[in-house]
A and B are shown apart, each in its own frame.
Chain A
């Protein structure tokens, strides 16, 4: 748990972003829910439809709801033009506002339904117009119940807002996701603590307002409102003060998917750019599916991706033309279909491969997959549960005529244990995995190039690729990182003892490759 307090204190930016996102989402939720509730109180059908819709939204997992707004906004670009953001604040705001809708709407509708009919008749009888009745009678009487709904919505929203990290919106989810991936529990704890603290504070202040409404004590509700507004104002100031101070140098946004290698490489790129005088921001923990779209649409400026991933997921190809041809095709495809560009390859692959213990490989005389095929009928192969269903496995089995005695599924961590204990003779591994170096494993050669290549490459967004200074700053990274260097850096972050942060591992990596 080293460095917990500095981490917690360093969460200011994320906290401010989290406060603004949550406040905006709750505000939008209120703005949608209250008119709907008034309408629902005048029409049974509207009440049923509105509550049904809000409940339906609630059944969608928050993570999925956030991700869903990416394609929705993408298709809405046909209407609103290319300037419509598809990642970051806007989709997070919309998804969270929908999520906040149900508790506010339900409480408001229930409050209205439970208003004393005698009081409502009296409002009509003394000659109130519909608007006066709403303003003078229904709203003040429903206010404490509506406030209770807003409290529930606030706690939910602040919690769910941590998930907006996955669609590129800065939040207190940043340290949580980064910490989960790199098994840095101090980061996870700091993020959770900050988010829980924020939720509790919001609940307390909104509770004050609720009590003020219920007991008709102006001091309470006014005081609560002022405190809430001060908090939002402070977050606004923290977010926008740098811009107001005239600190307007362009910030380069670097995205990273949610595993250690991506965090390290993002830091390595960031450190290079900072040396060149750029301000840098990280969007960590992006969903694998959104990274490519994020960089082509300019939501982020730089991303690291892999040839095999782009080949199957983005281009929809299933064939394997070989390492060089695949890379050339991806470069051309990127140029033809988007404003983004492939800057170049870093030098290593993070591919599926077969690994064996060094001593066992030597004993059996196995150096390549062709060698492995010879002895396979006597051996056991291990893989993660997904692997034996993937096209890579089919391709390799057919190319080399692999026919193992046994085939076993392991979770990734146990896969390495099985290799060590002799539970498996060969396993499917990732070539840049730090455990390959740590466990003294050999990666078997693939002379027939049956396994598709996963060359790590740098993707630049529409703006970044036109920036000559930026391109020059990143040039030294191209072809500079061999797979041993990457494994070592990954291990420094992944291992349990003497853990390093991705930033520290990136600095060590830079030194190792002579930057």
Chain B
């Protein structure tokens, strides 16, 4: 049996800043359809690892394979247009309308995105189609990141990369948008890799959680396995925070009811 190639494969990928090993010989395979959360403290290397996929960070060692092809051998612009990428800083172009922002990827490939498609993408992220004509400055933070997601989906990518996508949003917007992204992941049959420092978010959205520390992957578990106490010390340290919070909230609720 010759299975379909992995959606994404890291092969002993390394990246060093001086003597610091930001990413230290990471090998990893992600299958099509997985929703992977990369979790870790600041400086653990999770963002750097994600950026080796679209070569915003060029690995110093090893290879990254996208659908079986070495990303180093693909033309840079072409590679990036195949990958949906949602930025931590949202990164909408302030001088372009919402519609122009969404259509930028296809435009770079020489393709004009029809208004109907832009309207459809806006609807996907639950925005009104008539927002296409507005400038980003007229939007709220949550609306902007929804546009950011729509922009990432415009090129019909197979792989969606998200770098702390909800970091700058308020908790309510954050929860709603997280939920929406998970829904899109299922509906559009995407493979998704999301970097987050929030273990609760990772546990709630992902189908697989990777925990990084000092450039290495120290845990690779399904959410329920982590909740069941597996994955080692570092991972359990991260899981303990939301679990304690949830426990105390539950206790407060029951005390209030009593």
Interface residues of A (CB under 8 A from B): 116-119, 121-129, 132, 136-137, 140-141, 216
Contact = CB atoms under 8 A, between A and B. Distances in A.
8 contacts: A116-B91, A118-B88, A126-B80, A126-B81, A127-B77, A127-B109, A140-B95, A216-B95
B159 interface: no
Query: Which of A121, A127, A132 is packed against the most chain B CB atoms within 10 Å?
Result: A127
Contact of B79 (A117, A122, A127, A141): A127
B56 interface: yes
Contacts of A117: 89
B136 to A, nearest CB: 10
Given A127-B81, A132-B108, A137 B93 contact: yes
A413 B89 CA distance: 71
A117 B93 CA distance: 11
B64 interface: no
Contacts of A141: 94-95
Given A127-B81, A128-B77, A129-B77, A122 B105 contact: no
A309 to B, nearest CB: 61
A408 to B, nearest CB: 70
Contacts of A123: 93
Given A127-B81, A129-B77, 18 more contacts: A116-B94, A118-B89, A118-B90, A119-B93, A121-B56, A122-B89, A122-B90, A125-B56, A125-B91, A126-B80, A126-B85, A126-B104, A126-B105, A127-B77, A127-B109, A128-B108, A136-B93, A216-B95
Given A126-B80, A126-B105, A127-B80, A116 B95 contact: no
A122 B95 contact: no
B108 A119 contact: no
A123 B151 CA distance: 12
Given A118-B87, A132-B108, A125 B54 contact: yes
B92 interface: yes
Contacts of B89: 116-119, 121-122
B76 interface: yes
Contacts, number: 62
A216 B88 CA distance: 27
Contacts of B85: 125-126
Nearest to A124: B56
Contacts of A127: 76-81, 105, 108-109
A114 to B, nearest CB: 13
Give me the 3 closest cross-chain CB pairs, A-B, nearest first.
Answer: A118-B89, A122-B91, A127-B80
A482 B247 CA distance: 115
B78 to A, nearest CB: 7
Contacts of B135: 216
Contacts of B54: 125
Contacts of B109: 127
Nearest to A118: B89
B108 A122 contact: no
Contacts of A140: 95
B108 A121 contact: no
Nearest to A119: B91
Interface in B56-93: 56, 76-81, 85, 87-93
Interface in B89-112: 89-95, 104-105, 108-109
A213 to B, nearest CB: 9
A140 B135 CA distance: 14
Contacts of A118: 87-91
A210 to B, nearest CB: 14
A142 to B, nearest CB: 10
Contacts of A125: 54, 56, 80, 85, 87, 91
A128 B151 CA distance: 14
Query: Which of B78, B79, B80, B93 is packed against the most chain A CB atoms within 10 Å?
Result: B93
Contacts of B88: 118
Nearest to A140: B95
A335 B180 CA distance: 92
Contacts of B90: 118, 122
B105 A121 contact: no
Contacts of A136: 93, 104
B173 to A, nearest CB: 18
Nearest to B55: A124
Nearest to B82: A127
Contacts of B105: 126-127
Nearest to A216: B95
Nearest to A128: B108
A126 B148 CA distance: 11
Contact of A121 (B76, B79, B87): B87
Nearest to A141: B95
Contact of A122 (B76, B81, B87): B87
B56 A126 contact: no
B106 to A, nearest CB: 10
B83 to A, nearest CB: 8
A61 B226 CA distance: 73
Given A127-B108, A128-B108, A122 B77 contact: no
A118 B92 CA distance: 8
B95 to A, nearest CB: 5
Contacts of B77: 127-129
A194 to B, nearest CB: 38
